[in-house]
Structure 1
Amino acid sequence: MAVMRELLAYRELMVTLAWKNILVRYKQAYLGLSWAVLKPLLMMLIFSVVKAFVGIETGGMPYPILAFAALMPWIFFQESASEGVNSVVGNASLIRKIYFPREIFPITATLTKLAELFISFFILAGLMIFYQVAPTWQVVWVPLIIFYTLIVSLVFSLVGSAINVYYRDVGVAIPVLLQIAMYISPVIYPLALVQSRLLEDQAAGSLSEMLYFIYTLNPLAGIIDAFQRTMLYGQSPDLSSLWPGMLVTVVLLPISYRFFKAAETRFADVI
């Protein structure tokens, strides 16, 4: 509660920094916020071409809309984490001048990406109309799923931004690590495919259930599946795929915050 009260006291600064991030990112870009739309659309097209050669079971759902629905929470996490990790180093001049809670930087970087995610919802709506996929009342879960994704991004950003102040290699390594993480998350393929191979076909033998549990420790596995279920299939989130990642997030959130606050004391000296 003390942390929340402190952040609430600096809410105007957070709004100002968030608006500055948006302006700086798109100020001299000819297409402006259109880039937020082009990235998931282009990736969706690439995945669709790959799917035509590989063959991925989608359960009757058109693959382009399934891929786009997976890319929305994934890109939100990816962009939030990347911006968050570099947020403290990118605001070195402010850190040297005045004091305020330094966690404002990764939080603001994460919140800024909500604007781009909001735009992507219009594209998803267009795809749903085109493919005649009607939403149901299950979409009420979507704000909670987005909030959960935001928390996961924040956990990553708090630790990454603190380490990045002392070791700048982290900022360079993050894009590579996130690219690898995309392939171990159900972005190109649905989580149902992993469930089919490991839980039904027992592809790894006696290790199948343990491997599936390890796979779902990745919070993005449950998040992407829950987003697709609620938006496209009209189903409630699958708690069995959500709870392992949620457990990891609940444990790591206070640890990441304490780690950030411990490292914060020497930011102004090192940065």
Structure 2
Amino acid sequence: MITVVKELWTFRQLMATLAWKNITVRYKQAYLGIGIAVLKPVLLMVIFTLVRSFVGIDSGRVPYPILTFAALMPWVFFQEATSESVNSVVANAALIRKIYFPREVFPLTAVVTKLVELGINFVILAGLMLWYRMPPSPLAVWVPAIFAYTILVSLTVSLVGAAMNVYYRDVGQLLPVGLNLLMYASPVIYPLSLVEKKLLMERAAGAWSEIAYRLYTINPLAGIIDAFQRVMLKGEPPDFAVLWPGVAATCVLLPVSYRIFKKAEAYFADVV
């Protein structure tokens, strides 16, 4: 791990250049400029709020629009970062053929680039919190750790996905579909408290309720979204009972994903 960090640090200027290129290319031809970054979470928040008015979803003491926007922030960051990272190696095929450098620079840079959009969404969240008179609590100090964890989760998917996408281009096309399906298995439209109520209190899955809940929390996004909502909106610490299954899964799968990427890396220049 130390060797990997040192190698990436050596190429930090290349990563900064690629990150700046990603930002300028993404927005220089967009009429709305950087504002396009806020449209997705804001529009989804409006749509989910309208749907909620018909089906009814209990959001507790937190207004549903801001609760949903707080859920969409880590979700959209993960979704956009992962989608761009998986396609990053193929998108830089010309550079790969010219010189050697650690190819994981591409997925990592794609993920880091999305921090710009995340920063914009934090400004919107601050405006919503001001509107609803919800001052942040001191527990907001957990936010950097929560998003550092989100980056690791994104890289877990991105590294193996980017390697597979070099050999099977359908991976890049199918990934958005898979991520959209994953959204419904994450507490984005509904709060995690609803899942807890159905499975742990009402035993909706019968004897399998406890197992179903544990399987649900293996999805790292469940713990990430719930933790972010807690520390930003509810003034509560993260629920580590919800976080640990996803953390354990990430700790196991991230090294495996990296190893797969490094094994495939030797043939990238020949395939792309």
Q: TM-score, normalised by structure 2?
A: 0.99
Deviations 1:130-158 (A, max 9, x none): 01111110000000001000110011110
Residue by residue over 1:245-264, the C-alpha shift from the partner in whole angstroms, topping out at 9 and shown as x without a partner, is 00000001111101000000
What letter corresponds to residue 35 of structure 2 in structure 1?
S
Match of 2:236, SS state, is coil
Q: Which residue does 1:229 correspond to in 2?
A: 230
Matches within 5 A, 1:1-271: 1-271=2-272
Q: Distance in 2 between matches of 1:11 and 1:252?
A: 25
Deviation of 1:90 (Å)? 0.2
Q: Which amino acid aligns with 1:255?
A: V
| C-alpha distance in 2 between matches for 1:204 and 1:61 | 27
Q: Distance in 1 between matches of 2:125 and 2:37?
A: 13
Extract unaligned runs of 5+ from structure 2. none
Counterpart Cα distance in 2 of 1:176 and 1:6 = 34
d(CA) in 2 for partners of 1:232, 1:107: 30
Give per-residue Cα distances to partners, 1:26-68, cap 9 Å, x unaligned: 0111111101111111000000000000100111211000000
Q: Distance in 2 between matches of 1:229 and 1:181?
A: 21
CA distance in 2, matches of 1:120, 1:209: 35
Distance 1:91 1:27 in 2: 19
Q: Which moved more, 1:207-216 or 1:32-41?
A: 32-41
Q: Please list every run of 5 or more consecutive structure 1 residues that lacks an aligned counterpart in the other structure.
A: none
Q: Output the amino acid matched with 2:132.
A: Y
Per-residue CA deviation, residues 189-212 of structure 1 (Å, 9 max, x unaligned), is 000100010011111111000000
Amino acid of the structure 2 residue aligned with 1:257: Y
Whole-angstrom CA distance in 2 between matches of 1:167 and 1:204: 38
**Letter paired with 1:20:** K
Q: Deviations over 1:56-83 (max 9, x none)?
A: 0111211000000000000000000000
CA distance in structure 2 between the aligned counterparts of 1:240 and 1:205, rounded to whole angstroms: 21
Structure 1 segments, 4+ long, off by >4 Å, are: none
The percentage of aligned residue pairs carrying the same residue is 65
Alpha-carbon RMSD across the aligned residues, in angstroms, is: 0.5
Aligned equivalents of 2:245, 2:8: Cα separation in 1: 29
User: 2:78 & 2:24 partners in 1: Cα distance?
Assistant: 20
Task: Report the Cα offset of residue 214 of structure 1.
Answer: 0.2
| Structure 2 letter corresponding to 1:160 | G
Once residues 35 and 70 of structure 1 are traced to their aligned partners in structure 2, the CA distance between those partners, rounded to angstroms, is 19
CA distance in 2, matches of 1:145, 1:60: 23
Q: Report the residue type matching 2:87 in the other structure.
A: N
